[in-house]
Amino acid sequence: MKLTGAEIIIECLKEQGVKEVFGYPGGAALNIYDALYKHQNEIKHYLTSHEQHASHAADGYARASGKVGVVFTTSGPGATNIVTGIATAYMDSVPVVAITGQVPTNLLGKDSFQEVDITGITMPITKHNFIVKDVNVLADTIRRAFEIAQSGRPGPVLVDVCKDVTAQYAEYERKEPKKIRKKVFATQEEIEKAIELINSSQRPFICSGGGVISSEASEELIQFAEKINAPVATTLMGVGGFPSTHPNYTGLVGMHGSRASNYAVSHCDLLIAIGARFSDRVISKVDRFAPNAKIIHIDIDPAEIDKNVSTDIALIGDVKQILKILVENVQKKTNTDWIEMIYEWKKNYPLSYPQDGKLHPQYVVERISALTNNDAIITTEVGQNQIWAAQFYKYQRPRQFISSGGLGTMGYGFGAAIGAKIARPDKVVIDIAGDGSFRMNCGELATAVHYNIPVIVALLNNGVLGMVRQWQDLFYGKRFSQTTLDRPPDFVKLADAYGALGIRVTSPDEVDGAILKALEAGRPTVIDFVIDKDEKALPIVPPGAPIDEIID
């Protein structure tokens, strides 16, 4: 049958099982939105207050569900406003498809109104992107975008569609989506060498990254760790991939890693990195990272192998499939002395904070964890709030911790929380935020209230740009340049102005009541936890120092 390009876009989304999209309309996308209007009972569109947060919502939706998140925008500034969201998804390997309107083909390259080369701009931060100038290739382009976003190492794909293409007619025939196959590229010889290294190791240590979550390999990781009796640390992106209550869990690794994790890296004889990319925040001083260890690196992306750290054996392929092979073939270990050393470090160097009767952010996160039975989906902004949320909430499963790791995008968490709640309406969703980040995205309160999306913002309000101030305190001689936020708004009044519930907490004995009130409210809520401006996210490894030289 013949359909317009706009109708073809909608039909292709339906093929892919898309039920929700996020976006903001404009002139070049009007035909798409007109077609969407006719299918509003099949695909629900969420209109955000800003395009950037539409892209973050699509990202949070994808992370919480494991599906592809979809964002619509118009051309020009509408398209450029999602660049930060696309880069966030790219750095953290999140499958998002962005569909942008573009000026008509006869106006391309003429500095037309709201024209920008969005494919050129996003080329470095997408897995692939397309500009569609021919309606006859539109359907296959949309299908290809979804396939690319999900295959191999996931990531964002952008499809830019000229306005005249969305109005033209072409033949459309429904097709079933291609199945995404999970592949192992490692050779039998490489796998056997890895098994030999694991079997001969006396002090194995596992560093689990976001790839474990992307490949749905959490159960296989638990089986593998238990069989070789190895301690497990996670990168920030790997939080939730291994239960934080498991006795073998040692916490974060790297700049804000626990002493147990960082000491284990420094003393192990075999480091097994699984779905992790050895970022600078993990390895710090390269020549002092895992100095006594052979390194096995398991990853879907061959470009990550030997990029930051030289490895002894690389197993390239889907993490889940490779772990299944290893679990079946490695020998069961006891490693009694090694595990006892790990337990001793955990006992002697626990994460802690002052017990002085004051309101501390770590206590707030602990109480959120307890009062949600460790079962909520937690999104974060970026900064100290992000580290406290990763350290003090007891995560039990993958896709429970949602945060901008690679790009470190302030303003990410609230949009992501909205997307996550739409993806998982059965779960409590809480954005653990800093006041600096919340100033960037608080306009999305209008979105949450309008669609009655009962997300909770737990605002750790220290009146400063906390992480930057912390670095100024520790490394810049206490020269606090432009990090004090001595200005409005009153966040409780702001919540009320948007029609949300606002609660202020200034002492520890108010914490539980405020959290329970927010959980029972069934509506968007902002809890303003007023904390001291000099709270620190600790431990921390000074930049460039070995990861076992820790300030805590």
Which positions are annotated as active-site residues? 51, 113-114, 163, 467
Torsion sign over Cα 226, 227, 231, 236: negative
Cα distance between residue 42 and residue 47, in whole Å: 16
Contact between 90 and 156 under an 8 Å Cβ cutoff? The reply is yes
Query: Torsions phi, psi of 23, nearest 5?
Result: 175, -170
Query: Torsions phi, psi of 181, nearest 5?
Result: -90, 135
User: What is the 3 state secondary structure string of 112-175?
Assistant: CCCCCCHHHHHHHHCCEEEEECCHHHHHHHHHHHHHHHHCCCCCCEEEEEEHHHHHCEEECCCC
| Residue 425: partners with Cβ closer than 8 Å, 6 or more residues away | none
> How many CB atoms are located within 10 Å of the residue 163 CB?
23
Torsion sign over Cα 404, 502, 425, 365: positive
Whether a cis peptide bond, with omega within 30° of 0, leads into 489 is: yes
Cα distance between residue 303 and residue 279, in whole Å: 13
Cα distance between residue 414 and residue 430, in whole Å: 9
Cα distance between residue 245 and residue 226, in whole Å: 14
Query: Torsions phi, psi of 534, nearest 5?
Result: -105, 20
Cα distance between residue 477 and residue 472, in whole Å: 6
Supply 317's token pair. Answer: 């392929």
> How many CB atoms are located within 10 Å of the residue 133 CB?
16
Whether a cis peptide bond, with omega within 30° of 0, leads into 542 is: no
Query: Torsions phi, psi of 540, nearest 5?
Result: -145, 140
Q: Which helix (H) or strand (E) holds 460?
A: strand 456-461
Supply 441's token pair. Answer: 């995205």
User: What is the 3 state secondary structure string of 261-284?
Assistant: HHHHHHHCCEEEEECCCCCHHHHC
Contact between 379 and 420 under an 8 Å Cβ cutoff? The reply is yes
DSSP string spanning 87-120?
HHHHHTT--EEEEEEE--GGGTTTT-TT---HHH
User: What is the end-to-end Cα distance of the chain in Å, rounded?
Assistant: 66
Cα 372 from chain centroid (whole Å): 21
Contact between 371 and 421 under an 8 Å Cβ cutoff? The reply is no
DSSP state of 530: E
Cα distance between residue 264 and residue 260, in whole Å: 6
